[in-house]
Amino acid sequence: MLRLNINGQAIALDVDSETPLLWVLRDHLNLTGTKYACGIGQCGACTVLMNGHAVRSCTTTAAAAEGYDIVTIEGLGASGRHPVQQAWIDHDVPQCGYCQSGQVLAAVALLNDKSNPTDAEIDAAMTNICRCGTYRSIREAIRQVAIERGDS
Amino acid sequence: MSASGGLLLSFSLPTLSRSKPWQQPDATAIEINAWLSIAPDDTVVIRVAKAEMGQGVLTSLPMIVAEELEADWRQVKVEYADANRQLQENGVYGPMRTVASDSIMAGREMLQRVGAEARERLIKAAAETWHVLASECYADYGRIYHQGSSRSFSFGEVAGLAAEVSVANVRIKQPDDFNFLGLPTPRLDVPAKVDGTAIYSMDVRLPDMVYATVLHCPVIGGKVRGMRLNAVRNMPGFIRALRFETAVAVVADTFWQARQAAAALPVFWDTRHAEEQYSDTIKKGFFAELGGAGQVISRQGDIVNLMDRADRTIESDYFAPYLAHAALEPLNATVHVQSKRVDIWVGHQDPEAAIAAVSEVTGIAAEHVYLHNCYIGGGFGRRSNTDFVREAARIAMQIGRPVQMIWTREEDMRAGAYRPMSAMRFKAGFDLSKRLVALTNHSVTHSILYDRDGATNGPDPNSIDGLHNHPYEFPAWEFSHTRKNTHVTSWWWRSVGSSINAWARECFIDEMAVAAEQDPLRYRRQLLSERPDYLKVLDLLEQHSGWGKQVLPPGSARGVAIHRSSGTIVGQVAEVAVRPDGTVGVNRITVVVDCGHLVNPQTARQQVEGATLFGLSAALYGKLTIESGQVLEDNFDTYEILGMAELPEINVHFVPAVADDRWGGLGEPATPVIAPAVCNALYEVTGRRIRSLPISDYYLQAV
């Protein structure tokens, strides 16, 4: 029996512990906001938070996720819109939108780690691929969150 | 959750409602016409007959209707038009294909008429209720007012009567009359795309649904010889393995279980002949045709004589490889085949074609095939092909339950339908005073239409677009073409022929400028002296890019290119640096766009930026290598996509629209221009001409 803590809820489920976390989320828990795109940890569409850090769930086994607090895109805004999601809306970031759950969570992890990241820190942390090319809007949205936090 | 095979304790689904573009509206809403319903609470539902794949049609097309309707935009909701209804009602929505950047260009006037007709009917309904003349009434922000009295109705209050009345001779607005079109407007699909509720076809969950993974023969053109089912029969969740001519499908309770079974399933392939294929030898075949005559498309002047008498000629060969679309959402479709009905959940650019294809595969009449179009996780042309939908239908037919077929990234990228391969030769002759006397071009290109339809009359227009129909004034010319199809399959790829032809042509124009000892931008001006539309773009480009004025640091330079496609002229200047390690950095791109009128400047700018970066990824890194019949680049580790760290500064300038201007496309026209702008800049930095893509194949050094 696998025990996971997802979006603040303790879950026990009977699933092969070697199943990637991505497919546990999508096919067993119907948390389809986490996306499959490459399956080899290259693109970041499957990004989730584990204890606040951005992790690629397609190359993380369910067993390896036990004991961590996992947050998916569905859990991020569960108690009202997260400031990063709001910034994404303010900057009209998504185009096709497929990578954006992962982009949002990667940005949340970056801003957890560094409240006012430099351009180089944004470049280093935001390695998620966007095929539509929304990078400028992503960068501006991250800066907005950093500025708002600095003001408060 | 029934199909998950997992035991679930103490867990509840989030309460967020899922955003499905196909969702049916409030049942109390009154349908004004096939495009429009108005609910008693004044909600206006506008249907969109094009597919949302990031280009913003789910917002921009309803904006056009809302402008004429005089709706209150805050009361507008959108949903997809039903492709089955389109079939039942004789194409009521016009062509539903989302291709060629023409959703606004081709559909704008029809959408204006839809909105205007509905507005006039609402006015007539209000006027009849008040017993006044319709000409004394007007619509504004979702209400109908009577001039000269204080009476008014909300749209919802008169929608029932409006549905019964008819009007004739409705006039649509001219751009000067617009209140709303042309204002930056947030996209309606954004909130669902940042909270995970937007439903792509891979997110569809149906009762009793199972999952399928597919193994296509890894060697292009190979076939299935057999498989050893006993090896996987007892694996967890395994349901069935299906054998097709060129592929095997494995169906299981969950996708991961299907993958595990597929990995363990011994499949024997017949790869005779096909495994002798190498992209290098295919490429040589294209070059071998270059010296041949080709079919003349356009000719003026005694070319042979002019070239013979020229003081100097230059000749260059260009080559573009096959490319995958590599949309981030791998191709997938969910199909449920029942005895007299098929349902398809898919993100598709051409729902009518998908319905026809599934009808053909299943033998169930098209009017009983229902397609539920989903958000598309990247289309770029690939999702107008029906190959993956047909395959999902074939699998679902044998399973009798809803089946979600997902191609892995690797299957998606190895499955063909690539941007065509092309080689072409340019030759230019100059007189003693370095004036151009003649230009010739012979292109050898894989034809998309030949792949799709078999033999075609004359050259495939997709193959030669941007060559013979260039904007320049040449004294004499010849454009000729040879079709060269191979066992690889091709398809439309964002900006199609332009992405190859504009690159080669604009690079060769730069070569001509050097031969004529002219500045490349000024040289274009001379050749475009009769084209004020192009000159206007060049003017703005020069002004905004600092061309010829601001000096760049050593190791960097600017390059320019200009091209018109999908009704829009795009000019770009790229500032490019070659680093000491030989890598290329594109630091700044100035883009000037002349598309005429803009519906939503916000999405317009995004499309120009995105299309530029799509072209830049391809120019820098894009290629597919075939070795022993297999495509090597099948994931993002080998098929590199530009990332945040390489993002150039992109400044986009739109040429202001003039009276009677066009409504040019925006999804594609910026894609073909960046590759030549960057290659031309690299020549300035390194002295080397990039005549074969991608750029990363070259070892470059600044001189």
Q: Do B610 and A97 touch (CB under 8 A)?
A: no
Q: Is B590 helix (H, G, I), strand (E, B) or coil?
A: strand
Whether the CB-CB separation of B508 and B426 falls below 8 Å is answered with yes
What is the structure's pLDDT at B455?
A: 76
Residues of chain A with Cβ-Cβ distance to B380 below 8 Å are 131
pLDDT at B18 over 70: no
**DSSP result, B393-439:** HHHHHHH-S-EEEE--HHHHHHS--BBPPEEEEEEEEE-TTS-EEEE
Please state, in angstroms and rounded to a whole number, the distance separating the CA atoms of residues B594 and B477.
Answer: 27
CA B167 and chain centroid, separation: 37
Which residues from A are below 8 Å from B414, CB to CB?
A: none
Q: Are A34 and A101 in contact (CB under 8 A)?
A: yes
Q: Please enumerate in sequence order all residues whose Cβ is within 8 A of that of B163, keeping only pairs 6 or more positions apart, or say none.
A: B30, B31, B32, B121
Return phi, psi of residue B59, to 5°.
-105, -45
Structure tokens at B36: 């429009």
Q: Percentage of chain B surpassing pLDDT 90? A: 94
Q: What is the mean pLDDT of residues A124-138?
A: 98
Contacts of B378 in chain A (CB under 8 A): 96, 98, 131-132
B4 touches chain A (CB under 8 A): yes
Beta strand extents in B181-288 (DSSP E only)? 210-216, 223-227, 238-243, 247-252, 267-270
* Per-residue pLDDT at B1: 34
Q: What is the bridge-based pairing of β-strands B422-430 and B403-406?
A: unpaired
Write the residue in A26, A98, A138 that is nearest to B328 by C-beta: A98
> Rounded CA gap, A48 and A103, in Å?
10
The DSSP code sequence of B277-289 is: --HHHHHHHHHHH
The pLDDT tens digits for B624-636 are 999 999 999 999 9
* Residue of chain B minimizing CA distance to A34: B196
Of all residues in chain B, the one with the smallest CA distance to A35 is: B329
Cβ contacts (< 8 Å) between B238 and chain A: which residues? none
Helix (H) or strand (E) holding B442: strand B436-445
Least confident of B130-144, B270-284, B534-548: B270-284
Nearest Cα of chain B lies from the Cα of A130 at a distance, in angstroms, of 7
Structure tokens at B459: 């050259």
| Interface-testing mutation among B256, B620, B674, with chain A (most A C-beta atoms within 10 A) | B256
Contact B251, B242 (CB under 8 A): yes
The end-to-end CA distance of chain A, in Å, is: 44
The span from the CA of B448 to the CA of B461, in Å, is 9
Q: Quick: pLDDT tens for B471-505.
A: 999 999 999 999 999 999 999 999 999 999 999 99
Kindly report, residue by residue over B657-696, the tens digit of the pLDDT: 998 999 999 999 999 999 999 999 999 999 999 999 999 9
* Chain B positions in Cβ-Cβ contact with residue A23 (cut-off 8 Å): 254-256
Question: Quick one: which H or E segment has residue B593?
Answer: strand B584-594
- Predicted confidence (pLDDT) at residue B11 exceeds the cutoff of 90: no
Predicted TM-score (pTM) of this structure:
0.96
Report whether B464 contacts B483 (CB < 8 A): no
Amino acid at B54: G
Q: What is the pLDDT of residues A60-116, one digit of tens each?
A: 999 999 999 999 999 998 778 999 999 999 999 999 999 999 999 999 999 999 999
A-chain residues near B647 (CB < 8 A): 135-136, 139
What is the percent of chain B where pLDDT is above 70? 96
The helix-helix angle for B387-399 and B351-362 (nearest 10°) equals: 40
> Are A96 and B329 a contacting pair at CB < 8 A?
yes
Instruction: Note the Cα B462 to chain centre separation in Å.
Output: 14
Q: Do the chains contact at B5 and A26, CB–CB below 8 Å?
A: no
CA distance A143 to A93: 13
Contact between B636 and B97 (Cβ < 8 Å): no
- Identify the burial level of B176 via C-beta atoms within 10 angstroms of its C-beta, where 0-12 means exposed, 13-18 middle and 19 or more buried: exposed
In Å, what is the CA distance from B302 to each residue of B89, B155, B516? 55, 68, 22
Tally A–B CB contacts below 8 A: 212
CB neighbour list of residue B278: distance below 8 Å, 6 or more residues apart: B626, B627, B628
Tens of pLDDT, residue by residue over B239-253, are 999 999 999 999 999
B53·A96 Cβ contact <8 A: yes
HEC states along B353-370? HHHHHHHHHHCCCHHHEE
* CA nearest neighbour of B478 among B330, B306, B641: B306
Q: At what angle do helices B671-686 and B497-515 cross, to 10 degrees?
A: 30
Q: With an 8 Å Cβ cutoff, is B193 touching chain A?
A: yes
* pLDDT level of residue B458 (50, 70, 90 thresholds): confident
The pLDDT value recorded for residue B14 is 36
- Partner residues linked to B317 by β-bridges: B425
Residue B126 pLDDT grade (very low, low, confident, very high; cuts 50, 70, 90)? very high
For B584, half-sphere exposure in the C-beta direction (CA atoms, 13 angstrom radius) is 30
Q: Is the separation of the CB atoms in B266 and B277 below 8 Å? A: no
Question: Do residues B346 and B354 touch, judged by C-beta distance below 8 A?
Answer: yes
Q: Could you give the C-alpha distances from B625 to B280, B402, B504, in angstroms and in order?
A: 8, 36, 21
Chain A partners within 8 Å of B327 (Cβ): 96, 98, 131
Q: Which of residues 19-78 of B touch A (CB under 8 A)?
A: 53-56
- CB atoms A92 and B190 under 8 Å: yes
Q: Is residue B264 less than 8 Å (CB to CB) from chain A?
A: no
Categorize the per-residue pLDDT at B274 as very low, low, confident or very high, splitting at 50, 70 and 90: confident
Q: What is the DSSP string of B34-99?
A: TTEEE-TT--EEEEE-S--SSS-HHHHHHHHHHHHHT--GGGEEEEEPPHHHHHHTTSTT------
Identify whether the C-beta of residue B425 lies closer than 8 Å to the C-beta of residue B441. yes
> Would you state the structure tokens that stand for residue B43, as one six-digit string?
């909600």
Our CA-based measurement puts residue B263 at a distance from the nearest CA of chain A, in whole angstroms, of 14
How much is the pLDDT for B15? 37
Residues constituting chain B:
703
| Chain B residues touching A36 at Cβ < 8 A | 202, 330, 406
| DSSP sequence for A68-113 | SEEE-HHHHTTTS--HHHHHHHHTT--SS-TTHHHHHHHHHHHHHH
Residue A48 has pLDDT above 60, yes or no: yes
Q: How many CA atoms lie within 13 A of B509 on its CB side?
A: 30
CA distances from B18 to A77, A79, B112, B680 (A): 14, 17, 30, 48
Query: B238, B252 in Cβ contact below 8 A?
Result: yes
Chain B residue at shortest CA distance from A1: B7
The reply to whether A59 touches chain B by the CB within 8 Å rule is no
Q: Is the pLDDT of residue B5 over 50?
A: no
- Using CA atoms, how far residue B306 sits from B189, B315, B478, in Å, is 58, 15, 12
* Cα–chain center distance at B118: 31
Q: How far apart are CA B48 and CA B55, in angstroms?
A: 13
How many alpha carbons fall within 13 Å on the CB side of residue B690? 28
Structure tokens at A56: 């690629």
Which chain A residues are Cβ-neighbours of B650 within 8 angstroms? 136
Q: Which residues of A touch B202 (CB under 8 A)?
A: 32, 35-36
Name the strands in the sheet holding B76-80, side by side, starting at the edge strand that comes first in the sequence: B30-33, B36-38, B44-48, B76-80
- Kindly report whether the peptide bond that precedes residue B95 is cis, defined as omega within 30 degrees of 0: no
Q: Within its chain, how far is the Cα of B496 from the centroid? A: 9
Q: Taking residues B184-211, report their average pLDDT.
A: 96
Q: Are A15 and A27 in contact (CB under 8 A)?
A: no
CB pair distance less than 8 Å for A96 and B379: yes
> Which of the four pLDDT bands, split at 50, 70 and 90, describes residue B194?
very high
Which pLDDT does position B335 carry in this prediction?
98
Average pLDDT over residues B166-179: 95
Distance CA A128, CA A108 (A): 13
Confidence of residue B210 (pLDDT cuts 50, 70, 90): very high
Q: What is chain B's mean pLDDT, rounded?
A: 95
CB–CB of B8/B1 below 8 Å? Answer: yes
pLDDT band at B7 (very low <50, low <70, confident <90, very high): very low
Residue B237 sits at the chain A interface (C-beta within 8 Å): no
pLDDT of residue B4: 40
**Distance (Å, whole) CA B601 – CA B441:** 37
Nearest CA in chain B to A99: B328
Please state the separation of Cα B286 from the chain's center in Å. 26
Band of residue B12 on the pLDDT scale cut at 50, 70, 90: very low
Report yes or no: B7 at the A interface, CB cutoff 8 Å.
Answer: yes
Instruction: Closest CB to A85: pick one of B53, B195, B606.
Output: B195
Q: Which residues contact residue B660 at a Cβ distance below 8 angstroms, ignoring those fewer than 6 apart?
A: none
